[in-house]
Structure 1
């Protein structure tokens, strides 16, 4: 996974220029470097969630609630009405 999360994954802003993307990347890395909890496996809240609710990593409940599935986001546009 990306340190601190994805920079250009789905749901992220679409950048107008490479310079804008680079600036956002630098900002996110700087913010991440200052956070007290940077790694989920060292987060006591995540540990507690698994201990009390999800039971085990990669278990049925954690898979059902936390995992996502890929689906194509290809869009077909119909511009005929603009003519």
Structure 2
């Protein structure tokens, strides 16, 4: 195998699909996808845990705001 063919094969093997979300909806009934379940990030980007922390923070803020005005946790 030539060096060029080898590099092409390695690049093809390392292809990683990117997109906004792995699913069309992050919310279904009383389930919310956050973190790695909600984002497509290259595993070597080092962003997964930070996105998860951001998602957890945003979700907890939304739930707290809803509960503060009397909305049930399952209704938020």
Q: Which has the higher contact order (CA 8 A, sep 6+)?
A: 2
Q: Quickly name the TM-score band, shorter chain normalised.
A: 0.3 to 0.5
User: Which structure is higher in strand share?
Assistant: 2
When normalised by structure 1's length, the TM-score is 0.33
